[in-house]
């Protein structure tokens, strides 16, 4: 996608609204400045939802290094989404192949454990690609190399092209909270949804022959605790730096609404796909570049154009806003924005019961 195309669509597709026919929209904000790439979120999700046959290769939550190929490899160039902000024509997309996701490798455990081999532990069949193969590689030249981590789940989009792509209406957006789900009884495994999602966040189960995807841990947010308590999605609850805010986009008192709508510092990934994601990111800061003798110079370490390619042109203003508030606090002033970004109070971080009494 060219920058011009991104510019053209940027304004229309960063509009924040709830889809027609949806009462409230669940949303998540992730602060990329806090992600340490530990994959705890990935494992929390995997243990809960994708351990069964045919789902071994799936990571409904994955964390990839940027710049980097991502998971599945090259997903950002795999098409899908919408041709225009009218959401009437879908853009053609591709279905990644097994190698792009990375096959599960078989290791030489048996030889080492039971047959006395002194070979190092390694995959049996010449592994050449897999999730996080290019972890921490990043880009740039020393001493100005850079990378950051990008955690990704399904965006539970306001205009989900995966839903439109399914000729069986097996995918749908829940009226009560906008979560996008696959009805397993209706799905026939045609994989149009995999092709139609530009984020490649629907997966085909090769055993059940049906599609599967992130369900925003809906049993948890509906209240599965012994006393009917709600829990945030496992990826959010388990995150050591607690970088995910979970709630509703239309909860005007909540931090998500403030970060997205009022301060406009939380941005959707690749808005040019036009699906209007409901997962938002606080873009990453990095120290300025260094000269060879270690002096800091006023040049962005992460090229601004790279961030524009990921988050659209709004990233310039978002970074300026955060910087201005940071300076204000450094000079002894107060900033609601900085408090929102640093708040570790679970009652504010996860606001899932605000619409329960309606």
SS3 of 181, please?
strand
Contact 209, 170 (CB under 8 A): no
Q: Could you count the other beta carbons within 10 Å of the beta carbon of residue 45?
A: 23
State yes or no: residue 35 binds ligand SF4 (CB under 6 A): yes
Residue 116 is encoded by which pair of tokens?
């006395």
Exactly one of 1, 8, 10, 37 binds ligand SF4 (CB under 6 A); which one? 37
Identify which of 114, 5, 34 has the alpha carbon closest to the alpha carbon of residue 349.
34
Contact 292, 286 (CB under 8 A): no
State yes or no: residue 6 binds ligand SF4 (CB under 6 A): no
Q: What is the dihedral of CA 149, 58, 196, 22, to 10 degrees?
A: -80
CB of 212 to ligand SF4, least distance (A): 11
> Residues 46-75 vs ligand SF4: string with x where CB under 6 A?
-----------------x------------
Exactly one of 1, 3, 18, 38 binds ligand SF4 (CB under 6 A); which one? 38
Q: Which is nearer to ligand SF4, 154 or 267 (CB)?
A: 154
Stretch that binds ligand SF4, among 233-241, 259-267, 323-331, 337-345 (CB under 6 A): 233-241
Exactly one of 25, 155, 314, 349 binds ligand SF4 (CB under 6 A); which one? 155
Exactly one of 144, 161, 289, 314 binds ligand SF4 (CB under 6 A); which one? 161
Contact 199, 152 (CB under 8 A): yes
Stretch that binds ligand SF4, among 33-41, 105-113, 115-123, 297-305 (CB under 6 A): 33-41
Q: Rounded to an integer, what distance in angstroms lies between the CA atom of residue 156 and that of residue 58?
A: 17
Q: Rounded to an integer, what distance in angstroms lies between the CA atom of residue 301 and that of residue 294?
A: 14
For residues 261-280, which are near ligand SF4 according to CB under 6 A? 275
Angle at 18 between CA 15 and CA 19, to 5 degrees: 105
For residues 269-328, which are near ligand SF4 according to CB under 6 A? 275
Residue 53 Rama label (left phi>0; alpha psi -120 to 50; beta)? beta
Distance between first and last Cα of the chain = 42
CB of 182 to ligand SF4, least distance (A): 9
Stretch that binds ligand SF4, among 17-25, 127-135, 235-243, 350-358 (CB under 6 A): 235-243
Exactly one of 57, 71, 149, 350 binds ligand SF4 (CB under 6 A); which one? 149
State yes or no: residue 160 binds ligand SF4 (CB under 6 A): yes
Residue 70 is encoded by which pair of tokens?
């991502």
How many residues sit in the footprint of ligand SF4 (CB under 6 A)?
28
Identify which of 158, 156, 167, 155 has the alpha carbon closest to the alpha carbon of residue 192.
167
- CA 311 vs. chain centroid, Å, equals 12
For residues 328-357, which are near ligand SF4 according to CB under 6 A? none
State yes or no: residue 192 binds ligand SF4 (CB under 6 A): no
Interface residues with ligand SF4 (CB under 6 A) are 35-41, 63, 149, 151, 154-157, 160-162, 180, 197, 199, 201-202, 213, 239-241, 243, 275
């Amino acid at each position: 996608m060219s920058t011009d195309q991104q510019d053209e669509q940027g304004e229309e597709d960063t509009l924040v609204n709830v889809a027609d026919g949806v009462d409230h929209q669940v949303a998540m904000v992730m602060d990329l400045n806090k992600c340490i790439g530990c994959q705890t979120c990935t494992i929390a999700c995997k243990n809960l939802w994708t351990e069964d046959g045919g789902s071994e290769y799936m990571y409904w939550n994955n964390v990839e290094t940027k710049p980097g190929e991502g998971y599945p490899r090259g997903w950002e160039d795999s098409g899908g989404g919408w041709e225009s902000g009218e959401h009437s024509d879908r853009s053609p997309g591709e279905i990644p192949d097994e190698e792009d996701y990375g096959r599960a490798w078989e290791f030489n455990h048996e030889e080492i454990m039971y047959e006395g081999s002194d070979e190092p532990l390694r995959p049996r069949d010449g592994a050449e690609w897999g999730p996080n193969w290019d972890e921490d590689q990043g880009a740039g030249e020393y001493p100005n190399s850079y990378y950051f981590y990008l955690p990704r789940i399904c965006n539970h989009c306001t205009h989900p092209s995966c839903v439109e792509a399914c000729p069986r209406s097996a995918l749908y957006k829940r009226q009560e909270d906008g979560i996008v789900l696959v009805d397993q009884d209706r799905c026939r495994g045609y994989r149009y949804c995999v092709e139609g999602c530009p984020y490649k966040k629907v997966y085909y189960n090769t055993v059940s022959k049906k599609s599967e995807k992130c369900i925003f841990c809906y049993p948890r947010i509906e209240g599965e605790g012994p006393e009917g308590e709600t829990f945030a999605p496992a990826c959010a609850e388990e995150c050591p730096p607690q970088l995910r805010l979970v709630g509703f986009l239309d909860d005007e008192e909540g931090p998500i609404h403030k970060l997205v709508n009022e301060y406009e510092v939380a941005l959707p990934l690749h808005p040019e796909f036009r699906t209007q994601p409901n997962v938002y990111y606080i873009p990453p800061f990095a120290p300025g570049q260094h000269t060879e003798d270690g002096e800091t110079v006023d040049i962005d370490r992460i090229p601004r154009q790279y961030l524009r390619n990921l988050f659209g042109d709004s990233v310039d203003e978002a970074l300026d806003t955060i910087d201005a508030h940071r300076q204000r606090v450094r000079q002894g002033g107060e900033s609601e924005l900085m408090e929102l970004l640093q708040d570790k109070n679970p009652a504010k971080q996860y606001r899932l019961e605000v619409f329960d009494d309606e």
